Amino acid sequence: MVQNVKAEDLQAVTTIDFSSFGENKDIMLDSFREFNAGEVEWDIPEKDSGSYIVTLTW
């Protein structure tokens, strides 16, 4: 609802819950950990934390 916003002033936040991915949830989280090069803010739970929620901010 705001006009003339510059791209550098925008931020997108996405949350992904992998808990419903069954046996593939650990594979998906490992892929996110390997892919994240620190270019964007990703909140990825530590391995064996029991959490399967990833938050991506860019």
**Paired tokens of 58:** 């860019």
Q: Provide the residue range defining the domain that includes 39.
A: 12-57
Considering its fold, how many domains does the chain have in total? 1
Let me know: does 42 contact 4? Beta carbons within 8 Å: no
pTM score, whole prediction: 0.65
Quick check: is 5 in a domain? no
Residue given tokens 């490992």 in the structure block:
30
Q: What is the residue-level pLDDT of the chain in tens, covering all 58 positions? A: 788 889 888 888 999 998 888 888 888 888 878 876 566 677 888 787 888 898 888 7
Residue 34 lies inside a defined structural domain of this protein: yes
